Structures are given as structure tokens and as C-alpha cells.
Amino acid sequence: MWVLQLLFAVVVILLLQGAPASQQCRSNRGRCRRLCFHMEHWEGTCSNGRLRCCR
């Protein structure tokens, strides 16, 4: 049961982490992530530089 609670907490934290800054990234058809995948390139930052805007 505690595993499900921990997983839920992690999901909520990830969803709330870059809400305002991600609007600009999403408007440029990007996504805020910690690391960009190999087919994406780094366009900028989100959440005060903690995340990368990947496209």
C-alpha cells in the first residue's frame, strides 16, 4: 500500500513541477523534461532552469 502512495506522490510532484514555465515551451510544441530523448533537441529551460524544453 505504501508503494502506491509513494508512486502517487511522485506523479503529483512531477505534474506540478513546471506548470507556468511549461506554457511557453508547449506553445512552441515542446515538452519540459529533465533529459531530452535522443530524437529531441534542447530548446530552452523550464521551471527556473531545473527542466529542459525538448522538441
Q: Which bin fits 7, alpha (ψ -120 to 50), beta or left (φ > 0)?
A: alpha
Q: pLDDT at position 11, please?
A: 67
pTM, two decimal places? 0.54
Distance between CA atoms of residues 15 and 12, nearest Å = 5
Report pLDDT digits (tens) over 1-52: 888 888 877 766 665 555 555 778 888 888 888 899 989 999 888 877 788 9
Distance between CA atoms of residues 46 and 20, nearest Å = 9
